[in-house]
Amino acid sequence: MPGSKTDRAPVITLDGPGGSGKGTVSLILARRLGWHFLDSGALYRAVALAARRRGMKLDDEEALGRLALALPVQFKYSEINGSPSILLEKDDVTLVLRGEACGADASQVAALPAVREGLLERQRAFRTAPGLVADGRDMGTVVFPDADLKIFLTATPEERARRRYKQLKDKGMDVSLVSLLEEIESRDARDSNREVAPLKPAEDAITVDTTGMAIDRVVETIMALWAEASPGR
Ligand code: DC
């Protein structure tokens, strides 16, 4: 049947707050399944960074919407582990995009409807055979409402702050645990309370609380859910 689930590449969506493990888990899942991977947060971060570099105001919705639509961003996937490098106007911005300043700016521009609209089709274009693992906040609610499996990953704010701390320290960045926790809590509030595409589980999403769970166990849990959701695939 045209337009039905069966004639489209399958999608698994992983939504949830920052530090819930989505990024790492999505990448491992994509590798295990041999599927494509969409890091939608990186797109919002890239809009924010491009806007800063162009000296734009982060509340100029019309201009930011136009920027999102024509964003000169490219993902390059490593042959070795599938991990993406992100190029903005041919400049490798992978590291700077992960910084806390860029995350805070991204959360601000992500609240603007024109920015979300401007990134919509670009995100949907990632859905190609053999399948897609999509990581974000509104993957299951807005971008891929007909996804084959929707996961909502959570963890306590304290656990998420500890994970982010370790991640950033490992990358050689200088951060404080207390300020990370504050940042996580204020970003959660902003992402959950915004009017467009707020962070919330889709009605048909399965919530997995990853507090105290090792990454491998989270991956196995989701692989088992996928096996259940797609018998015979
Ligand atoms: O997942 P992340 O930390 O890279 O996301 C950066 C910001 O972008 C985050 O504050 C929320 C926003 N975001 C969003 O609104 N919708 C998405 N699908 C992904 C990210």
Q: To test ligand 1's pocket by mutation, which of 43, 107, 138, 163 has the most ligand atoms within 8 angstroms of CB? A: 107
> 39 CA to middle of ligand 1, Å?
9
CA 19 to chain CA centroid, nearest Å: 11
Cα–Cα distance measured from residue 103 to residue 151, given in angstroms and rounded to the nearest whole number: 22
State the DSSP H helix or E strand holding residue 96, giving kind and residue range, or none if neither: helix 94-98
Given a cut of 70, the residues of the chain with pLDDT beneath it are 1-7, 82
May I ask the CATH architecture of the domain 10-227? 3-Layer(aba) Sandwich (3.40)
Q: Which atom of ligand 1 is nearest to the CA of 143?
A: 18
Q: To test ligand 1's pocket by mutation, which of 38, 102, 137 has the most ligand atoms within 8 angstroms of CB? A: 137
Q: How many angstroms separate the first and last alpha carbons of the chain?
A: 18
Give the residue whose CA is nearest to atom 10 of ligand 1.
Answer: 107
Q: 12 forms bridges with which residues in the sheet?
A: 133, 149
Q: Hey, what are 169's tokens?
A: 């320290």
Which residue's structure tokens are 């695939």?
A: 233
- Tell me how far apart the 2 most distant CA atoms of the chain are, in Å: 54
Cα–Cα distance measured from residue 48 to residue 109, given in angstroms and rounded to the nearest whole number: 6
Q: What integer pLDDT is reported at residue 51 of this predicted model?
A: 98
